[in-house]
Amino acid sequence: MIHCLSIPTPFAVGRVNCYLIDDEPLTLVDTGPNSGKALDELDIALRDHGHRIDHLERIVITHQHLDHMGLAGILARRSNAEVVTLDLLAPVLEEFGAHAERDDELAESLMLRHGIPRDVVIALRSMSRAFRAWGGSAPVDRGLADGESLEFAGRTLQALHRPGHSPSDTVFWDAERSVLIGGDHLIGHISSNPLISRPLGGKSGEPGAGRPRALMTYMDSLRATRAMPIEIVLPGHGEPVTDHVKLIDERFALHERRAAKIAGLIAERPMSAYEIAQSLWGNVAVTQAYLTLSEVLGHVDLLVDRGEIREAEVGGVIRYEAA
Ligand SMILES: [Zn+2]
């Protein structure tokens, strides 16, 4: 049995779905954020299913975001459960603070380069530091290679790297039951944002190899998932997805529409990514500045790749113009 445990987060996304795999070893997939409230609710949810935190024998993490891994260290300490992740995620989880700091450095330089005002960048940087309290490090006992199988008494889950939403996105495929534990790779009610973070290797790109093209990486990952004979996706947020092909096709159509809209804006006059974001969404909240920048850059990458637009640097800020 796989039980969905819905755990509160302080983030706009709302609750996160953690999954309890009632098998041997007793396994929790994703943990919720590092907060007393999340820990309390997780404890209650486990008891509802006849278990306790110290019964956990294995903790599996789908990706590097706070709402999915924040409690991993505390739960592992309390239960002695082995922590299992994709091999590329292991160093991030083991030194969470240092990795978050380097991701923030990348975010800061990208924001300045793409026209976001310095005061917004500084505000976001200090907010990001405060947000980190909802994360935390955990020792990783086992790193899985892309495609490697994780065995249970009653099932086998294959770990598949599907970067894009984050560089470490991992889905876990039960081929026998046609069930995919999807993390935030595919969510029914919201389009997973391809947030730009440092590449970690493998399909997420070589570390240090320039700015990652997160949306293009994400679309490659979606194509791979689309081709799978999945009956049900158990997502990191919201309800299970029962028609992944239809949903993925809707996502592709959404990104095409958005790219076309951005191409239309740029055709009128050259614009920075920040100006494009403002044209599309108005003056967004400071917290959303990097999200919307990532969103715009993802689509700009598609257009540059197709030769429809090109980059031009003016005074240290990148503007996009029709090719
Ligand atoms: Zn996420």
Each residue's pLDDT, cut to its tens digit, for the chain (323 residues) gives 999 999 999 998 999 999 999 999 999 999 999 999 999 999 999 999 999 999 999 999 999 999 999 999 999 999 999 999 999 999 999 999 999 999 999 999 999 999 999 999 999 999 999 999 999 999 999 999 999 999 999 999 999 999 999 999 999 999 999 999 999 999 999 988 888 999 999 999 988 767 889 999 999 999 999 999 999 999 999 999 999 999 999 999 999 999 999 999 999 999 999 999 999 998 877 788 999 999 999 999 999 999 999 999 988 999 999 99
Question: Which residue is listed with tokens 């740029």?
Answer: 266
End-to-end CA distance of the chain: 54
CA distances (Å), origin 52, targets 32, 47, 110, 138: 16, 6, 44, 20
> What's the pTM value of the predicted model, to 2 decimals?
0.96
CA distance 236 to 188: 10
Both tokens of 242, joined, read 């029962």
Compute, in angstroms, the gap from residue 217 CA to the centroid of ligand 1: 15
One-letter amino acid at 83 equals: V
CA distance 104 to 100: 6
Compute, in angstroms, the gap from residue 63 CA to the centroid of ligand 1: 7
Compute, in angstroms, the gap from residue 53 CA to the centroid of ligand 1: 23
Compute, in angstroms, the gap from residue 322 CA to the centroid of ligand 1: 33
CA distance 166 to 146: 15
The distance from CA 176 to its chain's CA centroid, rounded to whole angstroms, is: 26
Compute, in angstroms, the gap from residue 228 CA to the centroid of ligand 1: 22
